[in-house]
């Protein structure tokens, strides 16, 4: 009979009825050491998950260089976003090196996040900036639409659904999701409308602004496990380290800005100065850069919501020269995209400089900014793309200004042997 008393190979605790040991090949381990080992291994996994995006944090100049490859102009907006992302990385790195253990650490300086509000006319690149930034950052990134959100208790998505999508983008890792970034588009649609004519509540306006306050500021939100395969107890997410960006066109804000920056004459009747109005009706391209928080309050956003976005980024209207650059310079420029479509058919698509200028002019007339460029080109090339697959011997398709303006046709160039056959058949 073996009466040997075994001891834990880690802490030396002796085996007893109240201290059972797990036997291994050459040692034993007690329950307390198993629990401690589980905590240590869990902390290793958390450190690896959180430090993964921090292996090579890009510098602001590097972030802007990558944004320049896809976005033309908006230099101030790109610099602001680059700094915000870099500071977000620095906050994550500091948190990883020195995690918060208690509230009594007087030597620790906690860096607060600076959420960003982007505003500008439609088609100036707000959503493109956010989606391109998603390719650059190493932390989870989601884009949400404010128009789909409703106040809690009403039909539609509530604000917690944004965090649920962020958790999905993090592969279910709560630790990684808590260091992510969120972009909310069309936030200007949440402007306070008050009671409607029928007396119903504005459930998708001020109520959503109020619901977003706790997410943006930083709090713990419980995400129910709806549609997930994990346990139904839900996941508790701390939004203190999640960087929020919001954007919107804020149509009508220019009237508020113009009234504050260039107040009109105060006289009435025979004393009114009728010569001070802008007869051209043009808008200052840099007008949105002069936006103050009080302007947003007059637009309809509540002060509590405005105060949680200390960084205001105003995007300017794109002029004709900028639209021409957008057509040709970015890595995924529209001209390159359609040239690739024609290359699939073995045809080279060419645009004259005058044609690019005419396309940009048409997009400006439509008032949709860079977003209108695709619709102009699509309408211009619809007929050629319809006929091209059925044509043979075509080598080049040339688009000039006359074709864009409707004064001429798009010109095709055929191979020499095909052109000879066409002339013979015609003769």
**Binding-site residue ranges for Zn(2+):** 8, 11, 30, 33
Strand intervals (E) in 260-409: 311-314, 348-351, 394-399
Instruction: Indicate the helix (H) or strand (E) that contains 244.
Output: strand 243-248
Residues 6+ apart with CB under 8 A from 336: 328
- Separation in Å, CA 140 to CA 125, 133, 177, 360: 21, 11, 7, 35
- Residue in the block written with tokens 């409607």: 196
- Contacts of residue 40, defined as CB under 8 A and 6 or more positions apart, other chains included, come to none
Burial class (CB in 10 A: 0-12, 13-18, 19+), 278: exposed
Residues sharing a CB contact under 8 Å with residue 39, sequence separation 6 or more, in sequence order: none
Name the nearest CA neighbour of 50 among 232, 212, 178: 178
Q: How far is CA 301 from CA 115, 117, 206, in A?
A: 16, 12, 8
Helix axes 126-136, 75-97, angle to 10 degrees: 40
Q: Detail the residues annotated as belonging to a binding site.
A: 8, 11, 30, 33
Q: Which residues pair with 220 in a beta bridge?
A: 238
328 CB burial (10 A radius; 0-12, 13-18, 19+): middle
Q: Are strands 311-314 and 243-248 parallel, antiparallel or unpaired?
A: unpaired
């Amino acid at each position: 009979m073996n009466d040997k008393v075994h001891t834990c190979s880690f802490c030396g605790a002796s085996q007893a009825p109240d201290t059972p040991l797990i036997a291994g090949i050459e040692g034993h381990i007690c329950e307390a050491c198993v629990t401690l080992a589980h905590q240590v291994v869990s902390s290793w996994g958390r450190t690896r998950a959180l430090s993964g995006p921090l292996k090579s944090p890009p510098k602001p100049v590097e972030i802007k260089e990558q944004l320049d490859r896809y976005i033309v102009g908006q230099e101030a907006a790109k610099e602001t976003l680059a700094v915000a992302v870099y500071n977000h990385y620095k906050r994550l790195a500091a948190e990883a090196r020195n995690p918060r253990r208690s509230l009594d650490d007087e030597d620790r300086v906690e860096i607060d996040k600076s959420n960003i509000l982007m505003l500008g006319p439609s088609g100036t690149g707000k959503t493109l900036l956010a989606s391109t930034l998603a390719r650059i950052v190493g932390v989870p990134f989601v884009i949400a639409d404010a128009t789909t959100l409703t106040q809690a208790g009403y039909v539609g998505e509530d604000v917690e659904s944004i965090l649920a999508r962020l958790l999905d983008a993090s592969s279910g890792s709560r630790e990684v999701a808590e260091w992510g970034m969120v972009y909310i588009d069309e936030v200007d649609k949440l402007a306070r409308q008050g009671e409607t004519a029928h007396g119903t509540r504005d459930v998708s306006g001020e109520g959503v602004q109020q619901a977003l306050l706790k997410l943006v500021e930083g709090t713990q939100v419980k995400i129910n496990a709806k549609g997930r395969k994990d346990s139904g107890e839900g996941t508790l997410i701390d939004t203190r380290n999640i960087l929020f960006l919001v954007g919107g066109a804020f149509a009508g804000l220019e009237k508020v800005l113009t009234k504050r920056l260039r107040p009109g004459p105060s006289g009435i009747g025979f004393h009114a100065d009728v010569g001070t109005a802008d007869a051209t009706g043009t808008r200052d391209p840099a007008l949105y850069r002069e936006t103050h928080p009080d302007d947003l309050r007059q637009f309809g956003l509540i002060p509590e919501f405005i105060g949680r976005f200390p960084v205001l980024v105003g995007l300017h209207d794109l002029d004709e020269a900028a639209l021409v650059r957008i057509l040709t310079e970015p890595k995924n420029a529209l001209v390159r995209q359609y040239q690739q479509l024609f290359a699939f058919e073995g045809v080279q698509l060419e645009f004259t400089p005058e044609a690019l200028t005419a396309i940009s002019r048409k997009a400006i007339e439509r008032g949709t900014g860079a977003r209108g460029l695709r619709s102009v080109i699509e309408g211009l090339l619809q007929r050629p793309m319809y006929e091209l697959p059925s044509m043979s011997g075509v080598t080049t398709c040339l688009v000039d200004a006359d074709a864009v303006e409707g004064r001429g046709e798009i010109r095709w160039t055929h191979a020499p042997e095909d052109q000879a056959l066409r002339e013979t058949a015609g003769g």
